[in-house]
Amino acid sequence: MDTLANYINGQLTNENTDNYLENINPATGEVYSLLPNSNLNQLNTAIAAATSAQPAWEALGTEGRSYYLNRLADKIAANLDQLAAAETEDTGKPIALATSLDIPRAASNFRFFAQAISQFASESHNMGNQAINYTLRDPLGVVGCISPWNLPLYLLTWKIAPALAAGNSVIAKPSELAPKTAYLLSQLCIDIGLPDGVLNILHGQGNKIGQAIIEHPQIKAISFTGGTKTGQIIAASAAPQFKKLSLELGGKNPALVFADCDFDKTIDGIIRASFTNQGQVCMCSSRIYIEQSIYPSFKQALLKKIQTLAVGDPLTDVILGALISKDHQEKVLAYIRLAQQEGGTIVCGGTQYVPTGRCEGGFFITPTVIEGLSIDARVNQEEIFGPVITLQPFNSEQEALALANGTNYGLAATVWTENLTRMHRLAKQLDVGVVWANSWMLRDLRTPLGGVKNSGLGREGGWEALRFFTEPKNVCIPY
């Protein structure tokens, strides 16, 4: 069995590890590796390394830093198959998804910020004939990047890349449920000769090493992606030290389907938006609102297609693999039972799926569709983060908008209509950070990404990320 190691000061090390966590393959239910459950001693060593590495890293300048980021991107691309296999083993996601989305995007994250930093300019403000102001944007120093299990390497690199590009050194903590690709990334950093201490990756539990990172006075900013409850704990812990915070949290995303949509394209789009990665993408749609006049035909076509979605061994040609853990599978099944208690009807799926053979111990759930629940139902208000959607008809655009905006979350919405005026009108009024028109997860890395309400604070992507990882200082010079 593999034992993963931390990456500290340019080395893979388990020095001072006092206990290990088990890493489970969710498709089989079997433990297949161990990871260090890191502690404060290890964090202090990593912070000392990061602190001493940062000035030279900053002094390399944008070209020097871009060189390393591009080399990392090349290495990720060159190791696509190995990384995709590791991502699938860790998360249970279909190998085709890891190969086509997760790993290529991790490479793109480094490539994008390697280039973006070369275009990043600070502002100047001229005060008539009195003075000129210019803004310096210096790196913050040592920053913390904490990421979840659903898109492990994709989201970890989405934070690390801008932090490094801007000249910071980084303490990163991947999810303890999906640590393998972060470990493999450490090896790639060593292979390309990334300067020691610039990036440090510590594994372990959120409430232990994660919390220690949040509280450490030498960590100047925290970029966090994960659940809303964890975000609240992090905000409360970081606030007394006035740390910069970027919080990308949960969602309960609506899809609005109008009678004038492109019917077939919308069916395919809703299926992708609902069930990609077993519904475990923060941007997944989970509340599907359909205009009354097409509700029966749309529902019928949707169910027909959903019933064809293959579930099972993620190493085979399936659309849905396993959920991340036994606990998460139980949580999702509990929400399905709750839906029935709340008066909902399961019109498709709703059960655990037990494959035969290699994956009989895995954590699978069939794609599930529920109808008959009001907006007030807990199942329509709380994030389930699994292959579960609810359907509800609406009679007017105003009603659709009220339903869409009717939760405490505000991450993403999709709108399906061929009426451009309606699309613009709704995009303006939807209380979310991202609106997709007749599409889902079409991503331009320059655009701001994040949520409102309980879905988070701040934005990632493009200039937003580079601004987050730098401190502006205004210099005013009279003429």
Which stretch in 124-132, 141-149, 270-278, 344-352 sits in contact with ligand NAD by CB under 6 A?
141-149
Q: How many C-alpha atoms does 331 have within 13 Å on its Cβ side?
A: 13
Active-site residue, 291 included: no
Closer to ligand NAD at the Cβ: 65 or 203? 203
Closer to ligand NAD at the Cβ: 156 or 400? 156
Closer to ligand NAD at the Cβ: 92 or 148? 148
Could you tell me the CA-to-CA distances from 192 to 61, 64, 152, 186, 200 in Å, in that order? 18, 13, 21, 10, 15
The single residue among 214, 221, 271, 302 that binds ligand NAD, judged by CB under 6 A, is: 214
Closer to ligand NAD at the Cβ: 71 or 173? 173
Kindly state whether residue 406 participates in binding ligand NAD, applying the rule CB under 6 A: no
Q: In sequence order, what DSSP letters do the residues of 31-53 get, joined into one string?
A: EEEEEE---HHHHHHHHHHHHHH
Kindly state whether residue 385 participates in binding ligand NAD, applying the rule CB under 6 A: yes
Structure tokens at 308: 């064809």
Kindly state whether residue 206 participates in binding ligand NAD, applying the rule CB under 6 A: yes
Kindly state whether residue 269 participates in binding ligand NAD, applying the rule CB under 6 A: no
Could you tell me the CA-to-CA distances from 272 to 41, 59, 63, 97, 169 in Å, in that order? 44, 44, 39, 12, 37
x/- mask, ligand NAD, residues 429-458, rule CB under 6 A, reads ----------------------x----x--
The single residue among 227, 361, 372, 406 that binds ligand NAD, judged by CB under 6 A, is: 227
The single residue among 87, 89, 371, 383 that binds ligand NAD, judged by CB under 6 A, is: 383
Kindly state whether residue 36 participates in binding ligand NAD, applying the rule CB under 6 A: no
Kindly state whether residue 413 participates in binding ligand NAD, applying the rule CB under 6 A: no
Q: Where are the beta strands (DSSP E) in 142-236?
A: 142-146, 169-173, 199-201, 219-225
CB of 382 to ligand NAD, least distance (A): 10
The single residue among 6, 45, 150, 169 that binds ligand NAD, judged by CB under 6 A, is: 150
Kindly state whether residue 149 participates in binding ligand NAD, applying the rule CB under 6 A: yes
The single residue among 87, 89, 102, 176 that binds ligand NAD, judged by CB under 6 A, is: 176
Query: Do the bridges between strand 131-139 and strand 124-127 make them parallel or antiparallel, or are there none, so unpaired?
Result: antiparallel
Which stretch in 16-24, 194-202, 205-213, 294-302 sits in contact with ligand NAD by CB under 6 A?
205-213
Cα angle for residues 109, 113, 114 (degrees, 5° grid): 110
- CB distance 392 to 406 below 8 Å: no
Greatest CA separation found in the chain? 79
Burial profile 163-191: b = 16 or more Cβ within 10 angstroms, e = fewer = bbbbbbbbbbbbbbbbbbbbbbbbebbee
The single residue among 8, 50, 255, 411 that binds ligand NAD, judged by CB under 6 A, is: 411
Kindly state whether residue 256 participates in binding ligand NAD, applying the rule CB under 6 A: no
Kindly state whether residue 464 participates in binding ligand NAD, applying the rule CB under 6 A: no
Kindly state whether residue 211 participates in binding ligand NAD, applying the rule CB under 6 A: yes
Kindly state whether residue 139 participates in binding ligand NAD, applying the rule CB under 6 A: no
Kindly state whether residue 146 participates in binding ligand NAD, applying the rule CB under 6 A: yes
Number of residues that bind ligand NAD (CB under 6 A): 30
CB of 76 to ligand NAD, least distance (A): 19
Cβ atoms within 10 Å, residue 327: 11
Q: In sequence order, what DSSP letters do the residues of 117-167 get, joined into one string?
A: HHH----EEEETTTEEEEEEEEE-SEEEEE--SSSHHHHHHHHHHHHHHTT
- Return left, alpha or beta for 267; rule: phi > 0 is left, psi -120 to 50 is alpha, else beta: alpha
Q: In sequence order, what DSSP letters do the residues of 243-254 get, joined into one string?
A: -EEEEE----EE
> What is the rounded (10 degree) CA torsion for 298, 299, 304, 307?
140
Q: Among 87, 248, 291, 383, which one carries the catalytic annotation?
A: 248
Q: In a 10 Å sphere around its CB, with 0-12 CB exposed, 13-18 middle and 19+ buried, how is residue 18 labelled?
A: exposed
The single residue among 72, 86, 267, 282 that binds ligand NAD, judged by CB under 6 A, is: 282
Closer to ligand NAD at the Cβ: 111 or 203? 203
Could you tell me the CA-to-CA distances from 123 to 117, 132, 446, 472, 473 in Å, in that order? 15, 11, 18, 10, 10
**Total length of the chain:** 479
CB of 451 to ligand NAD, least distance (A): 6
Active site residue ranges:
248
> Under the rule (CB under 6 A), what is the footprint of ligand NAD?
146-150, 155, 173, 175-176, 206-207, 210-211, 214, 225-227, 230, 233-234, 248-251, 282, 383, 385, 411, 451, 456
